[in-house]
A and B are shown apart, each in its own frame.
Chain A
Amino acid sequence: MQRLQRHITGARLFWLFLFAATWALSQYSFQIYKALDARWIIRFPKKYQLSLDDVISGFLDWLVNIANFWLFTFRDLTRAIAWVIEIPYQFLRNLLIEGFQTGLGDAAVQIAPSLSWVAVIAIVISVGHTARDWGLAALVGACFLYLAVFGQWDSAMVTLASVLVAVPIAAVSGLLLGILAYRMLWVEKLLRPILDLMQTVPVFAYLVPVLILFGFGPVAALIATVIYAMPPMIRVTIVALKGVPGELLEAARMMGATPRQMTWKVLVPAATPMLMVGVNQVIMLTLNMVIIASMIGAGGLGFEVLASLRKLDIGGGIEAGLAIVLMAIALDRTSQAFSERRLWRQRTGNLMQRHPWSMIVILVILATFLMGLVIPAVQSYPDAWIISTGAFWSQAMEWINVTFFDTLEVIKTALLRGVLLPVKKFFVGIPWLWGILVTGLIAWQVAGWKLGVVAALMMGFIAASGLWDKAMVTLYLCGVSVFIALLIGTPLGIWAAQQPRAGRVILGLMDTLQTLPSFVYLIPVVMLFRVGDFSAMIAVVLYALAPAVRYAAHGIREVPLHLLEAGKMAGCRPLQLLWRVKLPLATPQLLLGLNQTIMLALSMLVITALVGTRDLGQEVYIALTKANAGQGIVAGLSVAFIAIIADRIVNALSDNQKRRLSL
């Protein structure tokens, strides 16, 4: 009895009551509406609905067509930015694929050809070796060789050009903004909601405005990519800088470091390992955007994937998708290696001895250029040597489809009936007024009354925009997917941390999943599970798994050694060590992982709309296909608000936990 009483605390009662009341209301909302004849209980009254989308569309029109700052218009400004970004991009494109020429059409005169494929591979091998060793050089070289052998070279070089422009812009501006936020509290406060918006407003929502402002073509795609890829870099920078040990800062201060020295000689170097997690994310997200970017004119591998899948050429889609993955792996490993490289050896001797790689590369470029004039195969990879695995994939897919469909159908039906449909019914049944109240109450209980009010207001906005039902479907789909992703991802992450060898495989797999365009596996998933919520859920789980695994692994690995020693001294067995020491101490990281999992699940929403769901993602997608900027932004904001509420609640939980552990 006493034990029972100890468990019934005020907080627990509160949660129990809240859940029971929500469940009851959700179950009987329809009956209540019928009994009271009050339709407003289940539907937000039409006449009070906000028409914010028209206002936003109108504002954008004004911004694009009328707004001016005396000397120039807003559009001149954005076009100027686009022009500046276009310069390095066009140069890289010429260098890698198009060659340099003057004049147009028939009058065109080629000044110099692009780098030959042999030369590009030589360059990446040399970069790989310089960054670390022959192992990395071989890996990077093999990745690029794949591009040539599987006929992806031309598209891949177009994508590489845009990645080489987008990643530095996103990483450097992310780092600078992060440092600024670390130095000045108000910047951090200002940035947080903006970051949430950048990360959670679906790209499709701002695609139309970006196109209008920055002009059609690759540059607009680049800018959308930077907007999408930068937030994790800022977030990670802030966390990393805050994690620099106080003693180190103290020591630097005692030695009289100026603020600038403090930043660049102490903080940033000390935080580099963590910062590289951010760079890794930027690269992954940039390559993630490749598909969407290709929809608005970036071309490249993304276009290859889209076009193949529209023909249901699954093999072609997979080959192009893998090309994106391999490029991501090559870029990521190289950047990691550079960050870990401590010593820049000074070489002596003649030019060749001092800069062996630069010299070799220059020689290769010259040699292939000259040979390319005579033997075309040296300049561009000959079509006859291209390998295609298309037939294999189509046959494999057909075999799986014909052999396993019935088994899969049974599993799917069980999951649908047992989990998805009941949860959906629960969420969709919640009357909007109670939903707003409950969100407020949860936020208040976890993070104080301020967040409670904000959360309630945000949910109110969604209801007032007439998107309540779609928002509830969103919650259900994301909720179930995030839950399943954590269920699979956390143990995988723990395993990866405990066993470094398995860890390397698992983390590699996660990188693959995150960079493999979801479209590539979406189509086979649809073939096996048909259009519907189930296919959408699988796609979201596959995509959102990565952060759950990665942060779990990171959290477990970062547990201070002395605490582990203390645990061992106290006689903990390995399993106890995990449960009693590692997991509690890793909770803040695990929660950060949860946070990122939710964010990614939400950002995947629009993609699931491509399969056919009835959630906010669909609303955004409809807005895009109708080029209705206002509608897209309102729906995008609704997604963002859900994300922000979730983020704040999870963060508050993480803070509470940290306080409890006095970290």
Chain B
Amino acid sequence: MKHLSVLTAACLAATPVLAQDSSDPIKLTLHDWSGQLITTTLMGEVLKEAGNNVEYVQADYIAQFAGLKTGDLHLAMEIWETTGREALDEAVGSGSVVNMGQTGMMAIEEWWYPAYMEERCPGLPDWKALNDCAQEFATVETAPLGRYLGGPVTWGGFDEERVEALEMDFEVVHAGTDAALFAELEAAYQRQDPIVLWVYAPHWAPAKYEGSFVAFPPYSAACYNDASVGMNPEAAYDCGKPTGPIWKAAWAGLPDQWPNAAKVVDNFKISNEDMGAMVADADLNGKSVEEVVAAWMAENEATWKSWIAQ
């Protein structure tokens, strides 16, 4: 961040007049989940208000880094600490991508169960109660162990380690994608079948289905790194998952070419609650992303105007 502002300062110094943004369009990346579309559209609309030209480009979440490095793409609005940090760090390390700071949203990820399971497993959301009725969650492939549906392997999450460390009677099965993960939840919810799976927020699922996150022993960095910390003195990961910020990332040339826009991007902040409400509006109430964003902008004019003014 520091040398970023140095760069900006160098630019300012080189040009006697106030730095002018290029009139070329800033290319923002769109992925395939509504939250990200909303964040990006909101950013784009605010940038338009600030006088910039923007263009939205469809891109894969991870593959986009190739484009950000070369300057084919300019701005990515949602890089999740939990799933994208590795790629982001690698890209920042190459020197062609800069981390534009946090979006203000925090990613929550944890084991999650639908509300109807509370009857069958008294004591939930405590993880010990979950473990006591692991049998309920067993399927042909996993019996006698319970079946926990984890996220795609690439999301990490240390679930195998957690099961091992907490000596839980569960087998971790990985869904291939986000869509497959929630498809199973939808199906099980319709049948009121037992299911415990990886759910994250901000997302429409916790808004659509009634249920709760499992309460594991609270996360601490020490618990992940130091085997002796936590209830199992011989193993790490004997606690819940951390929450992490969602980052903005940009092509390293962005602050030079669009210095004013870079400041607006830097100032962009939005809360989990606001985002959760917008996502639910789009995915569950069937509104378009543009409508949702326009409504938020009408209501919070002071907020986004302050991003431009600063």
Q: A residues near B, CB below 8 A?
A: 104-107, 207-208, 211-212, 215-217, 294-299, 303, 306-307, 309-312, 398, 401-402, 405, 412-413, 416-417, 519, 522-524, 526-528, 530-532, 608-613, 618, 621-622, 624-627
Contact = CB atoms under 8 A, between A and B. Distances in A.
Contact of B66 (A216, A295, A298, A417): A216
A522 B59 contact: no
A296 B59 CA distance: 5
B153 A622 contact: yes
Contacts of A401: 187, 190-191
Interface stretch (B157-165, B178-186, B235-243): B178-186
Given A208-B66, A216-B66, A531-B149, A612 B191 contact: no
Interface of B: 23-25, 32-34, 37, 48, 52-54, 57-67, 70, 72-73, 86-87, 90, 139-141, 149, 152-154, 173-184, 186-187, 190-191, 204, 283
B58 A298 contact: yes
A417 B58 CA distance: 43
Given A104-B24, A402-B190, A626-B154, A312 B179 contact: yes
23 contacts: A107-B23, A216-B64, A216-B67, A217-B57, A217-B67, A296-B58, A296-B63, A297-B58, A303-B32, A307-B34, A310-B33, A310-B34, A311-B34, A312-B186, A405-B187, A524-B183, A531-B176, A608-B176, A609-B176, A610-B180, A624-B63, A625-B62, A626-B86
Contact of A295 (B60, B72, B174): B60
Contacts, number: 151
A307 B60 contact: no
A297 B66 contact: no
Contact of B178 (A294, A310, A626): A310
A390 B80 CA distance: 31
B236 to A, nearest CB: 23
A312 B63 contact: no
A208 B179 CA distance: 22
The 8 closest A-B pairs by CB, nearest first: A216-B67, A105-B53, A527-B187, A216-B72, A612-B176, A610-B176, A625-B154, A295-B60
B152 A612 contact: yes
Interface of A is mostly: helix
B187 A217 contact: no
A295 B179 CA distance: 14
A297 B57 contact: yes
A312 B182 contact: yes
Nearest to A211: B66
Contacts of B23: 104-105, 107
Contact of B179 (A310, A528, A608): A310
A32 B176 CA distance: 34
Contacts of A207: 60, 63
Contacts of A298: 58
Nearest to B203: A310
Contacts of A107: 23
A212 B91 CA distance: 13
A182 B173 CA distance: 50
A531 B175 contact: yes
Contacts of B67: 211, 215-217
A610 B190 contact: no
A611 B176 CA distance: 4
B12 to A, nearest CB: 24
B63 A610 contact: no
